[in-house]
Structure 1
């Protein structure tokens, strides 16, 4: 039975684990948005503007909130890490546990070649959870 790569993530932090059989063996990496400088640069939100007639105008809300933009950027970085970890390691399978929106973002950004390697997806926010709890969630 080959080794598996488990990724547990939310929108700001993630852990990569090596899994053998039904046991989490090793923490391979612990990442957060700060690792990649995500979310540190924020433009000031414009509240309104005055046109030449002196009447206050309106500014439009962006289509993407800062939190959504951060999640998207973090998921891209995690997807790259998953790809490189999978390519450099001896991992036969990939398992993902992430909050639902983050799971979708990772899946969207993940290299197409890895789609067939995903053996389990759990849409739940378990980032930072104890490995024993993760084992129970995965294998019972």
Structure 2
């Protein structure tokens, strides 16, 4: 078994760890901060939506948004992380990948992965462990992988 990367992510940041095999623990490789992930919809999209007249009558209504702004920011961050993982895969820096994120962001992240990178996902954990230290994280992952 080769190196295994463990990505622990949430909307406002991520940490990338490396595991070199059973009993070797987790070594922090990189931290990626994403402060925009902490913003709320009203802080991102401060403008009100435009208004329009109804086809018939004098009624008016607001235009709707096609996408939630916080969701869009989460998708952009997931794409940034997917690019990081894809670069690691193309340079053969890992053989397997483990994804750890809250359920919603994990789904967004999986969608952003390229098929070759997604094929290297050995396990995933749908929990928000973004603030867990390496020891706590290893303990949570021991049912999925040998850390």
The alignment's TM-score, normalised by the length of structure 1, stands at 0.82
Structure 2 unmatched ranges of 5 or more = none
Deviation at 1:89, TM superposition (A): 4.5
Q: Structure 1 residues 77 and 137, CA, compared in 2 at 3 Å: closer, same or farther?
A: same
Is the CA contact 1:24–1:135 (under 8 Å) kept in the aligned structure 2? yes
| Kept after mapping to 1: 8 A contact 2:4/2:94 | yes
2:138 aligns with 135
Q: Decide which of 70, 84, 88 is 1:85's aligned counterpart.
A: 88
C-alpha deviation, 1:41, in angstroms = 6.1
| C-alpha separation in 2, matches of 1:45 and 1:129 | 38
* 1:88-99 correspondence to structure 2 within 5 Å: 88-99=91-102
- What is the aligned counterpart of 1:63 among 46, 63, 66? 66
The CA distance in 2 between the partners of 1:61 and 1:125, in whole Å, is 31
Partner of 1:5: 5
- 1:30 alignment partner in structure 2: 31
Misfit runs of 4+, over 3 Å? 38-43, 47-51
Whether the 8 Å CA contact 1:14–1:128 is kept in 2: the answer is no
Q: What is the aligned residue count?
A: 137
Question: What is the match of residue 110 of structure 2?
Answer: 107
User: 1:30: how far off?
Assistant: 0.9
Structure 1 residue 116 displacement after superposition: 2.1
| RMSD after superposition | 2.9
Per the alignment, residue 123 of structure 2 pairs with 120
Q: TM-score, normalized by length of structure 2?
A: 0.78
